[in-house]
Amino acid sequence: MTDTAPQTDRDDPIDRDGLAPGFWKTTRLEDMSGAEWEALCDGCGKCCLNKLEDEDTGEVALTRVACRLFDDSTCRCARYEVRHAFVPECIVLSPRTIPDHAYWLPATCAYRLLWEGKPLFDWHPLISGTPESVHRAGVSIRGATVSEAAVDDDDWEDHIIDEPV
C-alpha cells in the first residue's frame, strides 16, 4: 500500500480525481466528503446480489442471483440515479446506515473493511489507479451473475458463491 496518489483511470465510472492521497486512512467515515465516500466503492457489484440469511444463526450467504437492474457486463446498476423507482428496497449506504448493513456486505467491501478498522486491499482502485484491478483480483462479480428475473426464489440456494477475502 502507498500514500502516493495513483494515476486515475478515465474509464472509471466513479470520479476519484482530486482526493487527498490515503484520505481513507486519516479521515473517519462520518467525516468524509461526499466525493470521498463515493470513491470508496470498488465497483465489485456484490451489494447488488441477493443474499440468504439464516434467521437462527444470522449467517449470511451471497448468491450469484443479481438484482434485476444489475448490468452483468459493466458490473454496475443500469439505472443508478432512478433505481428507487424500480427497486424501492435498494439500500442507500451512508455513514449513518453502515452499522446496520456491514454484517451482510461482502468481506472485501471497502465500506465494511474501514468500518471494521481494516485496511483496503492493494487492488482497490484508489490504490491501484484503475477499476480493472478489482476484476483482475477476482473479487468482482462481472460476468458471473444470473438475473433474479430468471431464477425462482426457492432456487437461490443453488447459486451461493464463495467469498474471497
Please state whether 105 falls in left (phi above 0), alpha (psi between -120 and 50) or beta.
beta
Binding status of residue 83 toward ligand SF4 by CB under 6 A: yes
Residue 62 neighbours by CB distance under 10 Å: 21
Residue 140 identity = S
Binding status of residue 127 toward ligand SF4 by CB under 6 A: no
For ligand SF4, the binding residue among 32, 44, 65, 127 (CB under 6 A) is 44
Q: How far is the CB of 154 from ligand SF4 (least distance, A)?
A: 21
Task: Please spell the DSSP secondary structure of 15-79, one letter per residue.
Answer: --TTPPTTHHHHS-GGG--HHHHHHT-----GGGEEEEE-TTT--EEEEEEE-TTEETTTTEETT
For ligand SF4, the binding residue among 43, 128, 131, 145 (CB under 6 A) is 43
Q: Taking a C-beta distance cutoff of 8 angstroms, is the pair 114, 120 a contact?
A: yes
Grid cell of 95 as nine digits: 455513514
Binding status of residue 47 toward ligand SF4 by CB under 6 A: yes
For ligand SF4, the binding residue among 19, 64, 65, 70 (CB under 6 A) is 70
Binding status of residue 156 toward ligand SF4 by CB under 6 A: no
By beta-carbon proximity to ligand SF4, the closer residue of 42 and 63 is 42
Binding status of residue 39 toward ligand SF4 by CB under 6 A: no
Q: How far is the CB of 56 from ligand SF4 (least distance, A)?
A: 25
Which stretches of the chain bind ligand SF4, using CB under 6 A? 41-48, 67, 69-70, 77, 80, 83, 87, 90, 93, 105-106, 109-111
